[in-house]
Structure 1
Amino acid sequence: MFRKKLMPLFFVLLLILSGCAGFKTGDSKSADSGDKVVIDFWSFWGSEIRRPVIDKIVADFNESQDKIEVKHTFVPWGDIWTKELAAIAAKNPPDVVINDINATALRGQKNQAMNLSRFLEKDDISDRFYEELWNATLYEGDSYGIPFNTDTRILFYNKTAFKEAGLDPEKPPATWEELWEYAEKLDVKNGDTYDRIGFYPLWGVNSDVWMLNSDGKNFFDEDGVPIIDTEANRETLEWVMDWHEKYGANTINSYKSQIDSQQGNPFFNGKLAMYVNTPTFYTQIRDYAPDLDFGVAMLPEREPGSGNTSWGGGFVAEIPQGSKHPEEAWEFIKHLTDVEAQEYWAVKNFDNVANIKAAENAAKNSEMPDKDKVVYQMAIDNMENTLLTPVPVHAPDFMNLVNPELDSILLGKKSIEQGLKDAQQSLEKLIEKSK
């Protein structure tokens, strides 16, 4: 009887002593894992390429410390932001979410994203990022999101086609006039059809990008006053319409259907000599036309000295209003937007990142082939010319009013003058209504 009672007591004492002496099974952090703060991170990166990259960044953070555990939740592109708003309303939002940079100020104004000023007072990381990106996160001087990635628009051109047309393959068009002249030489017409088109400005981008390119101005001035009905915009749309008349609706629509198919993009097989798109378009060239001899350049200037203005967007990491763990969320966001994680994302995804140092490192990274480096460096260089178009808080969803007017102009339903006038009046009414 005595021995049966003594043995359990002996083992209890042994377990207590071994615990006090620091003897633990497995990793030393495992005993503390229950004390970690778990934060929920939402993104729409669920593809077979991007999902492993973001999961590795999350895993690196989780392994770097023993206080916070990040759980990555994939929410599809079409659902993530409506679900986030519903979660905020239900007072159960994620702790970090990836969101559109151009509407960051609007979400700050609507109290959907958390004001990050209290974190930035302690950890001012604003100098990590391109100024244009950082400014897009501000509402009344405070940031409501930290830039993660971005993009820009550049010109891709077929060097083989240039040689066939007698053009210097190392000298892309520098102005709108040269762009037209080059296209004339690059066009190959067979009767009423084209075997090759030199260029068409509305493939890859819309007319608003060329309006921005023409004079470097957005649809609003510094005071938030709409400035869409301008002489520069009228002349830009006249220039766009000249291209439309040059090729005709049938040819344009036929090519557009091929472009929309991605894999059958006519730029891949030489039927389109010049094309504007984001630098990440290169990954499609790499996949579908690996032997294509191409070059990249900044968007041509409207005229010498007017500037190679391009347009960009991107995404930010936000802490939704109502997050239960904002301090821990902030620690993860710092990791997500620091040099190491950003460079890893850039190299593995061939994506433009917001962190300047990481972008510069990526362009020199040994994992990037030489062709990749050329395109990526052009993307970096073009950031100096790239403007974002943040949604004004007093004119939300303004493009839903502008785009139908631009479409009416391009379809011949309205004159350029009438369409821009109507767009201007619509924006003025929207602003007046918002007051």
Structure 2
Amino acid sequence: MERRRFLGLAAAAGATGATAVGAFTAAGCGTGTGTQSAALTVVAADYGDPGRGNGSQAYWNSLVNAFQRKHSGIAVDVQVLSWKDVDRKVAAMVAAGRPPDIAQIGAYADFAAQGRLYSAREVLSIPVQADFLPPLAGAGEVRRVQYGMPFVASTRLLFYNKTLFARAGLDPDAPPRTWEQLARAAARLKAAGVKIPYGLPLGPEEAPAETLLWLLSGGGSYTDKVGNYTIDAAANIKTFDWLRDRLVRRKLTNRDPGGTDRQELFDAFVRGEVGMLNGHPTLLEEVRRRGVKYGTAVVPGAEGPSDGTLGVADWVMAFRQNGRREEAGRFLDFLFSEKNHYAFADRYDLLPVTTSANERMRGHAEHKPLRRFQDELVSAEFYPVGKVSWAKVSADLKKSIGKAVGEGPGPAGVLGAIQRRAEARDSEAEVP
């Protein structure tokens, strides 16, 4: 499944490492009735699997058709790309001097720092901008100005297999609330023959998310309250010491956490091979479809349920170069209207980013399993995506953090090295 495998790689390429690509072609466009030069150009990511008939192009086609019935003078061309390609290709378009008018991708800060983006207040009407959930609006800011408009979001909860819990003699209605309870449950699951008692994905796909979940549950984070990196803080080193000593070295996780991606463990979970892991809303669809008896709980913390949880968002941004501020604003207002925004979140079991669409989702009984995720979103902590250096720091985490639970230099050495590189990149990326 190509649904970004799933949402959560928010620190993708930014504006680096790209090669030039051409402007939109007829084969690459979604809909639009005007000429190429006249059309508002939009690049968006695919959250579905076109091979299974649930690709995102159908949503955008329907949205554009409805928009053009109200705004017949504004043609819109939408190009939907795989998450493997979309960040890189948008960066390439920008580098080649041909940015789209609107992009829906994983990161915005590089473009904002270069002065390429309209601020949210320049393109959105006041009611639409005010409708964003405050934590998400704040996560879209660079130096207190919002440039990133959240598109959809997710949070994380602990998923556990009730059937495997019962087999191990554990109460299937009493998930672990603390690290020690999690370690004891994992040991019982291992003794009962469960292949992977706790799924720990520290491979490139999920490393920044799984890491932040553990840091938050231990009272730490990636940054302090004023935005300085704190990757090697004492609380974070203590967290990874515990993770290495109490789970990894006791063989209560997958064999190679640093080489294991999230999708591997999600697939193993729905096959009944994983006792516990941290998951997000899109995992619900698969466990329901496969008939897995599962439960969810707040992520365990050092002394009790974690006070903080991870929030992840994807972003919409409007580029200045083509001067299409008014047209882009009208389309974005339409995109974020309650009906249209809810339709996308509903289609892919993701969390809406506006207050109005969130309340609408709460009112639908079929989305009851999502309510706990919605509750967590209100107080979630997001990646420091407003820092221009974050894309490179995230890439470093993906490459290096797995070593912290291995047999090498240990958590203090690994986290310290990542911290030093993060500080250097932060200095290089100072916003003028």
Fold shared, TM-score > 0.5 on shorter chain: yes
Which residue of the other structure, out of 105, 114, 117, is the alignment partner of 1:113? 117
Where 2:197 maps in the other structure, the secondary structure is coil
Query: Which of these residues, 155, 164, 175, is aligned with residue 152 of structure 1?
Result: 155
Alpha-carbon distance change, 432 to 144 in structure 1, aligned in 2, over 3 angstroms? closer
Pair 1:400–1:79, CA change in 2 (3 A):
closer
Deviation of residue 350 (structure 1)? 1.4
- What does residue 276 of structure 1 align with? 278
Which amino acid counterpart does residue 72 of structure 1 have in structure 2? Answer: V
What are structure 1's unaligned runs of at least 5 residues?
A: 1-31
Q: Which has the higher helix share?
A: 1
Residues 51-62 of structure 1: matches in 2 within 5 Å?
Answer: 51-62=57-68
* Rounded Cα–Cα distance in structure 2 between residues aligned with 1:218 and 1:186: 29
Work out the CA distance in 2 between the residues paired with 1:261 and 1:33. 44
CA contact (8 A) 1:161 1:273 kept: yes
Alignment check: 8 A CA contact 1:153 1:278 kept: yes
Partner residue, 1:335? 334
Query: 1:409 aligns to what?
Result: 404
Q: Distance in 2 between matches of 1:259 and 1:400?
A: 16
Residue of structure 2 equivalent to 1:94: 100
CA contact (8 A) 2:229 2:419 kept: yes
* Deviation of 1:261 (Å): 4.8
Identity, % of aligned positions: 22
2:397 corresponds to 1:393:
no
Deviation at 1:170, TM superposition (A): 2.6
- Classify 1:422/1:73 alpha carbon distance in 2 versus 1 (closer, same or farther; 3 Å): closer
Which residue pairs with 1:245 in the alignment? 249
What is the aligned length? 386
Equivalent residue, structure 2, for 1:230:
233
The amino acid that maps onto 1:301 is: G
1:88–1:112 contact (8 Å) kept in structure 2: no
Decide whether aligned partners of structure 1 residues 230 and 237 sit closer, same or farther in structure 2, where only a CA change above 3 A counts: same
Matched with 1:311 is: 310
CA distance in 1, matches of 2:163, 2:412: 40
Evaluate the alpha carbon distance shift between residue 202 and residue 99 of structure 1 in structure 2; reply closer, same or farther with a 3 A threshold: closer
Q: Please give the TM-score of this superposition, normalised by the length of structure 2.
A: 0.79
* 3-state secondary structure, aligned to 2:392: coil
- 1:12-51 paired onto structure 2 within 5 Å: 38-45=39-46, 47-48=49-50, 49=54, 50-51=56-57
> For each residue in 1:212-249, what CA deviation from the matched residue of structure 2 results, as whole angstroms up to 9, or x when unmatched?
32345432223332212222111111121121111178
Alpha-carbon distance in structure 1 between the residues aligned to 2:49 and 2:170: 40
Q: Is the 8 A contact 2:157 2:296 kept in 1?
A: yes
Q: Which runs of 5+ in 2 are unaligned?
A: 1-32
Name 1:350's counterpart in structure 2: 349
Measure, in 1, the Cα distance between the counterparts of 2:145 and 2:303: 37
Deviation (angstroms), 1:110: 1.4
Structure 1 residue 334: deviation in Å? 1.1
CA distance in 2, matches of 1:422, 1:257: 22
342-351 vs 199-208, greater mean Cα deviation = 199-208
- Summarize the alignment of residues 167-206 of structure 1 with structure 2, pairs less than 5 Å apart: 167-189=170-192, 194-202=193-201, 205-206=206-207
Alignment of 1:378 onto 2:377:
no
Superposed CA deviations along residues 286-321 of structure 1, whole A, max 9, x for unmatched, are 34x1x221111221122137x342222221221113
1:254-273: CA deviation from partner (whole Å, max 9, x where unpaired): 9x87975578x332233322
